[in-house]
Amino acid sequence: MPEIKVNDVTLYYEDSAPNDTQKPVMVFAHGLLWSTRMYDAQVAHFKDDYRCIAFDFRGQGRSKVTIDGYGMESLTEDTLGLLQALNIEQCHFVGLSMGGFIALRLAIRHPEKLLSIMLMETSADPEDPTTAPQYRKLISAIRWMGMKRVSKKVMPIMFGQRFLNDKMRKADYKYWIQQMQANDKVGIVKVTMGVIERQGVYEQLRKINIPTLVVVGDEDVATPYSKSERMHFAIKGSKLAVVNGAGHTATVEEPEQVNAIMDKFLTCCV
């Protein structure tokens, strides 16, 4: 199992071509409650032309749980440490939701490390004060009951109605709810607090001068279109694309659409 020690944590990662120094590198950063698995369809699609590296943030997936270090600034430092440890000088960086929070911070503070960023279902703003109390209730429920008891209530936040109501995708639904339930309770509580308490970076978006793609599902209720449009208007030269019939986890819900959008961006804009 590929693991690497960065800062004070051991991170799990997957590398499609660890010995290939010729392919451009694409790094995938997942969203809250998930892991590298949310990018399986993208890695399968791009691995012939790119060295694809997907990793689990601390406290999630198969990465280790630590006492602290779950703020977005700390997770950004973890990501930089991973790139350095793997000798990645530059990469295309894909971040979904929480992974997008990290992508934005890298683009603002370390643009020399990036060839492009792809921001999926994410936001440059702090947590909405109207939704933060709901997430705090979620934290309390996870702390006392565990992920298994609350996972069904979380799925409508993570997935759109097309996916949830598709009888042909019942097996997919079961797989992803099991993936969510497999997370460590302590890690999820800590990282969810990190997400809720994050600072916004909207005022710094003008500093981003690398190719940027913003992607949002038209059924996303967690970070709706308006948040993506707001980022798009603030990042000079960025592209905005909508995934039809997808919620907050478009890479899973509509992978072919997402892959096609990414292909077009990488071909035309980079």
Instruction: Decide if 188 contacts 114 (C-beta within 8 A).
Output: no
> Which residue is associated with the tokens 């930089």?
80
Structural domains of the chain, count? 1
Question: Which pair of structure tokens corresponds to residue 91?
Answer: 């990469």
Find the distance separating the first CA and the last CA of the chain, reported in whole Å. Answer: 33
Note down pLDDT in tens along the chain; length 270 residues. 699 999 999 999 999 999 999 999 999 999 999 999 999 999 999 999 999 999 999 999 999 999 999 999 999 999 999 999 999 999 999 999 999 999 999 999 999 999 999 999 999 999 888 877 777 877 887 888 777 888 888 999 999 999 999 999 999 999 999 999 998 989 999 999 999 999 999 999 999 999 999 999 999 999 999 999 999 999 999 999 999 999 999 999 999 999 999 999 999 866
Domain of residue 76: give its range.
3-269
What DSSP character marks residue 261? H
Cα Rg for the chain, rounded, in angstroms?
17
13 three-state secondary structure: strand
CATH number of the domain at 70, please: 3.40.50.1820
